[in-house]
Chains A and B, each alone.
Chain A
Amino acid sequence: MKFGYTIIYVADVPNTVAFYETAFGLKRRFIHESDLYAEMETGGTALAFAGNEAAEMNGLAILPNDPASPAAGWEICFVTDDVQGAFERAVSKGCSPVSNPSEKPWGQTVSYVRDMNGCIVEIASPIVQSS
């Protein structure tokens, strides 16, 4: 078994792709012509977005993400050496700040924002393995 995709159901797939490009500096891999599915260039494990309509088409029932409600109980985490810069960029491009960058006891710098759909995105520094 291999972890292949994280798929986030959203109201507007193309807008979310554009948002992730400007707010987090990711690149799009493709947007399906239906505008109901897209993948970002995130290496071997794809971060993907699917339209909320696709959930019903797949036979699923979901609670759509909503910036005005508490976030769903999961998050995605982007890792960068410049947490402060990435955090400021995300907020200036429309993310809502939740937790400013701060250093954790284990030496990692960690911050949290919510994206345009209300999903939690963590922006953190890499964990440095002590040798």
Chain B
Amino acid sequence: MPDGRCDIILRYNIHGSDAPIPVITGPATQAYTVEYDVGDSWLGIRLRPDNGRALWQSRIAQAADTVLRGQDALSLMPGLAALKGGQMTAANLANAVEITMTLNLDHRLIRALDVLHASGGRMRIEKLARFAGCTSRHLNRVFRSNIGLTAKTYAQLVQFNRTLRLIQQEHLPITGAAFEGGYADHAHLTRAFRRFGGFTPSDPPNELSLPVLFS
């Protein structure tokens, strides 16, 4: 399920060579399915949303729902190529990420993200900007240039993920989840679920993997 964050993944195919395939994703706003063979494995890091720019640099603005594989991923993040065989550990991957990426965090963005997540994605951008201490125009610019998504799209993703969790994990009835999630009505909820999840609220796929936010 999409949550607006970028992934750096090393994929091992049981029938392939020893070298894993590097995969880098832009901030996701749409669900995708992964085809795999039994025995395949993945090792990956999901970045904080505000770190998208550190990975994609100026390309972040066009990176939404983009996936780079193999050589394309390596040219974005050459440090991945150095990890071979037994060096492919989570710690080494994290280390490579840390070396490659210069984090230049905007504290107003971090504050805005914290408030937005606390509100379940239901705070208007104008109000969010007041919490962050800037104008909504500036906040939108910071969202686009760091996360790669507009503030509104990111807020809608937070709202979608919380509501999906209310249905999947808390087993709330759909009308109750729509209300608590802040959707005006069933049609509004269904539109959001179709857009971000690719399914209707009453018919979710069997094996959904829910993104964990800020664990």
Residues on A close to B: CB < 8 A?
67-70, 73, 96-100, 114
Q: Is the CB of B179 within 8 A of A96?
A: yes
**What residues on A are CB-neighbors of B170 within 8 Å?**
97-100
Main secondary structure of the interface of B (DSSP, over half): loop
The answer to whether B182 touches A70, judged by C-beta atoms less than 8 angstroms apart, is yes
Whether B119 contacts A100 by the Cβ 8 Å rule is no
For the A-B complex, the count of residue pairs with Cβ-Cβ distances under 8 Å equals 25
Residue of B120, B169, B172, B176 touching A70 (CB-CB under 8 A): B120
CA gap between A21 and B180 in the complex, in Å: 23
Pick the residue among B171, B176, B180, B182 that contacts A100 (CB under 8 A).
B171
**Contact indicator A70/B123 (Cβ below 8 Å):** yes
15 contacts between A and B (CB under 8 A): A69-B122, A69-B182, A70-B119, A70-B120, A70-B123, A70-B182, A73-B118, A96-B176, A96-B180, A97-B172, A97-B176, A98-B166, A98-B172, A100-B169, A100-B171
Complexed CA–CA distance, A100 and B166 (Å): 10
Give the complex CA separation of A69 and B180 in angstroms. Answer: 8
Interface residues, chain B, with chain A CB atoms under 8 Å away: 118-120, 122-123, 166, 169-172, 176, 179-180, 182
Closest 6 A/B residue pairs (Cβ): A70-B119, A70-B122, A100-B170, A99-B170, A70-B120, A97-B172
Complexed CA–CA distance, A73 and B172 (Å): 22
**B119 proximity list for chain A (CB < 8 A):** 70
Q: Which residue of B lies closest to A73 (CB)?
A: B118
Given contacts A70-B120, A96-B176, 5 further A-B contacts (CB under 8 A): A73-B118, A96-B180, A97-B170, A100-B169, A114-B180
Chain A residues with CB under 8 A of B172: 97-98
Q: Provide the residues of chain B in CB contact with A70, threshold 8 Å.
A: 119-120, 122-123, 182
Residues of B with C-beta under 8 A to A114: 180
Q: Are the C-beta atoms of A98 and B180 separated by less than 8 Å?
A: yes
Which residues of chain A are near B123, meaning CB under 8 Å? 70
> How long is the Cα–Cα vector from A98 to B180 in the complex, in angstroms?
8
In the assembled complex, the Cα of A38 lies from the Cα of B91 at a distance in Å of 57
Rounded to whole angstroms, the CA-CA distance of A101 and B172 in the bound complex is 13
CA A42 to CA B119, docked complex, whole Å: 30
CA distance A73 to B120 in the complex (A): 12
Distance between Cα atoms of A91 and B166 in the complex (Å): 15
Q: How far is the CB of A56 from chain B (nearest CB, A)?
A: 23
Q: Measured between C-beta atoms, what is the minimum distance from B128 to chain A in Å?
A: 12
Distance, CA A99 to CA B166, complexed state (A): 8
Closest-CB distance, A38 to chain B (whole angstroms): 27
